[in-house]
Chain A
């Protein structure tokens, strides 16, 4: 079997676009998380909704910041 070249799972050229898109989605979800935290009163707040919003925001922010690192030349 001839050696097969290994490439990155995501083409390098997409890194900047991906990082901008995912970071902006992540920041929007983060904003909605904090709006919810600040506007709802302590009694009416639902923990599940907070956790889900936080999880979604952290997934987008996590991948967004990874692609930001990669596109700026910090290959982790």
Chain B
């Protein structure tokens, strides 16, 4: 089949070659890395313009059967040896549909920053990552077997341009190589197979090669990964990741023996993987790892100032075709990810999965913003499908806005930062506490209403009337108590004025205090009268009345004695008697006053208890 395609392309290439611009690839160096489940192809292209027109686009061609597995494609200026890095000055790559192209190929065009003039040349790297391209062969293996993979590629660089010199190297894992296609100029160096150099090949040259090799790298494929990033302005970014993981390598057949696996895991379970490592951002806290039936205890966490590493083990070793579903979650400090810029808030977060070498078929990233966020916009470094949702969570009224980003075929190269911009009024943060406060306040209002409401059914029954009367009596007694208490405070004031007098000798001030006290005491007695007459007339008060009357009488007595004492002391000062003499004169009074004060206090307590 490959050969037929080759011939087909070759013919078309000859017919078509003249149509394309006059670019020539003077040197192509391809390095294919097969050490993980994703195939990474780094092609270093040296383009040369042999025509006279200015050229600013270079076309890349991929066969159609490959294109649906193409996860990532980036072009960047060549920075010497080493892997192509995803740098900020990457060249834009777009899908292109040039005219008169042969069928069965898909094209992408790389826009060069500066056009190539006549005779100019430029070297740049193209990184292409493919998923699900390594085919397990045999497709089904037992627990004891090793996993063998097949990889197909062309030894010649498939390009719409003429290629002058090219070479290809295939890097394999450090293990056995079952077989590989031998062509002229092919040689093997340890775990690396080299093809080329080949010279002066026309456009669309194609020479299929097949490599069959052993690989026990983890084939962790997430059918679906849902990452939920919940922002709270109260200081936290909560990330929850729901994994739906499968071992995407050769299917396991026959029975699984836990005993064999436990005894010799490297022999009886070479194709399985038992742990995954997630690199979480630094200062991650409250990390958990669970599935539908609860916490999974086989996990380890350690961290430093640069990262937090979470090592998780699924409940069972993962063999080919086995599935597992679990959830990990962690909290992150807000100030590492949320920023304010030009009146807008922006969340800067990484897009892909934190685990090494996990290929994700469908990745859904949900960013849950606080309630009240407006004018939401997303800036992602690559095209994603996006829409908005609502999520009702704790203390929400109309739900939180959720930005959903969906991308298929995600590889670790997609672990880049994306930004969500939104506007938010800081006062909207008070929404949650106000909701709690109003909840409590309604509770108190309900209590007030309950105690104020009269819930009795029969308003004319004897017991109801008695209760009403008793309430009135209680109110009257409380008022009496209040008045007596106020009288007592006035007494205290008078005593205070006396002690002032002894310190400063200010007779006029003392007299004024006396006058004020007299006035207010008179008013209080006036207030007391109607209350007492009400109590006397009420039947319900019969029990409590004697105590109240005693209280009032004692108070009156106390008041009189205090006045007498006050008068006497002031008199003595006016006559300029000595301190000792004054004390002698009022000593008897003072004793009685203290006794009466005690009695009044006792009576107040007794009435309180009734």
Interface centre among A34, A70, A76 (most CB of B within 10 A): A76
Contacting residue for B341 out of A1, A61, A75, CB 8 A: A1
Chain B 331-349: CB-based contact to A (< 8 A → 1; otherwise 0): 1011110111110011010
Contact B475 A44 (CB under 8 A): yes
- Measured CB to CB, the closest approach of chain A to B220, in angstroms, equals 29
Contact B334 A8 (CB under 8 A): yes
Chain B 420-440: CB-based contact to A (< 8 A → 1; otherwise 0): 000000100100111011111
Contact A62 B439 (CB under 8 A): yes
Q: Which residues of B contact A10 (CB under 8 A)?
A: 234-235
- Measured CB to CB, the closest approach of chain B to A71, in angstroms, equals 10
Q: Which residues of B contact A63 (CB under 8 A)?
A: 433, 436-437
- Measured CB to CB, the closest approach of chain A to B236, in angstroms, equals 4
- Measured CB to CB, the closest approach of chain B to A73, in angstroms, equals 6
Which stretch in B83-91, B202-210, B445-453 binds the other chain? B445-453
Contact A5 B474 (CB under 8 A): no
- Smallest CB gap from B331: residue in A: A73
Contact A42 B441 (CB under 8 A): no
Contacting residue for B436 out of A8, A45, A62, CB 8 A: A62
Chain A 35-64: CB-based contact to B (< 8 A → 1; otherwise 0): 001001111110100110111011101110
Contact A9 B394 (CB under 8 A): no
A7 CA to B232 CA, complexed, in Å: 10
A74 CA to B436 CA, complexed, in Å: 14
Q: Which residues of A contact B448 (CB under 8 A)?
A: 37, 47, 50-51, 54
Q: Which residues of A contact B451 (CB under 8 A)?
A: 37, 42, 45
Chain B 460-478: CB-based contact to A (< 8 A → 1; otherwise 0): 0000000000011011001
Contact B437 A59 (CB under 8 A): yes
In the complex, number of A-B residue pairs with CB atoms less than 8 Å apart: 126
Contact residues on A (Cβ < 8 Å of other chain), bracket: 35 or more
A54 CA to B437 CA, complexed, in Å: 10
Q: Which residues of A contact B426 (CB under 8 A)?
A: 9
- Measured CB to CB, the closest approach of chain B to A35, in angstroms, equals 12
A-facing residues in B316-362 (Cβ within 8 Å): 331, 333-336, 338-342, 345-346, 348
Contact B444 A76 (CB under 8 A): no
Is B238's CB within 8 Å of the partner chain A?
yes
Interface centre among B233, B235, B339, B434 (most CB of A within 10 A): B235
Q: Chain B at the A interface: mostly helix, strand, loop or mixed?
A: helix
A62 CA to B31 CA, complexed, in Å: 63
Contact A76 B331 (CB under 8 A): no
A-facing residues in B471-490 (Cβ within 8 Å): 471-472, 474-475, 478-479
Q: Which residues of A contact B65 (CB under 8 A)?
A: none
Is B230's CB within 8 Å of the partner chain A?
yes
- Measured CB to CB, the closest approach of chain B to A58, in angstroms, equals 4
Contact A3 B432 (CB under 8 A): no
Q: Which residues of A contact B336 (CB under 8 A)?
A: 5
Q: Which residues of A contact B471 (CB under 8 A)?
A: 41-43
A75 CA to B479 CA, complexed, in Å: 50
Contact A5 B433 (CB under 8 A): no
Q: Which residues of A contact B433 (CB under 8 A)?
A: 62-63, 66
Contact A6 B441 (CB under 8 A): no
Contact A41 B346 (CB under 8 A): no
Known A42-B471, A57-B440, A58-B437: A6·B335 in contact at CB below 8 Å: yes
- Smallest CB gap from B337: residue in A: A5
Is B542's CB within 8 Å of the partner chain A?
no
Q: Which residues of B contact A42 (CB under 8 A)?
A: 451-452, 471, 475
A6 CA to B432 CA, complexed, in Å: 19
- Smallest CB gap from A26: residue in B: B440
- Measured CB to CB, the closest approach of chain B to A17, in angstroms, equals 15
Is B286's CB within 8 Å of the partner chain A?
yes
Contact B441 A65 (CB under 8 A): no
Contact A55 B441 (CB under 8 A): yes
Is A25's CB within 8 Å of the partner chain B?
no
Is B183's CB within 8 Å of the partner chain A?
no
Other A-B contacts than A5-B339, A12-B236, A54-B444, 15 sampled, CB-CB below 8 A, are A3-B339, A5-B340, A6-B339, A9-B234, A33-B444, A34-B447, A44-B478, A45-B452, A50-B448, A55-B441, A57-B444, A62-B440, A65-B436, A75-B234, A76-B395
- In order of increasing CB-CB distance, the 9 nearest A-B pairs are A8-B235, A54-B444, A62-B437, A58-B440, A3-B339, A75-B232, A43-B475, A62-B436, A58-B441
Chain B residues packing against A (C-beta within 8 Å): 230, 232-236, 238, 286, 331, 333-336, 338-342, 345-346, 348, 393-395, 426, 429, 432-434, 436-441, 443-445, 447-448, 451-452, 471-472, 474-475, 478-479
Chain A residues packing against B (C-beta within 8 Å): 1-12, 33-34, 37, 40-45, 47, 50-51, 53-55, 57-59, 61-63, 65-66, 69-70, 73-76
- 29 A-B pairs within 8 Å (CB atoms) are namely A1-B342, A3-B340, A3-B346, A4-B339, A4-B340, A5-B339, A6-B345, A7-B335, A8-B234, A10-B234, A12-B333, A33-B447, A37-B447, A37-B451, A41-B474, A53-B444, A54-B444, A55-B441, A57-B440, A57-B444, A58-B437, A58-B444, A63-B437, A70-B234, A70-B235, A73-B331, A75-B232, A75-B234, A76-B232
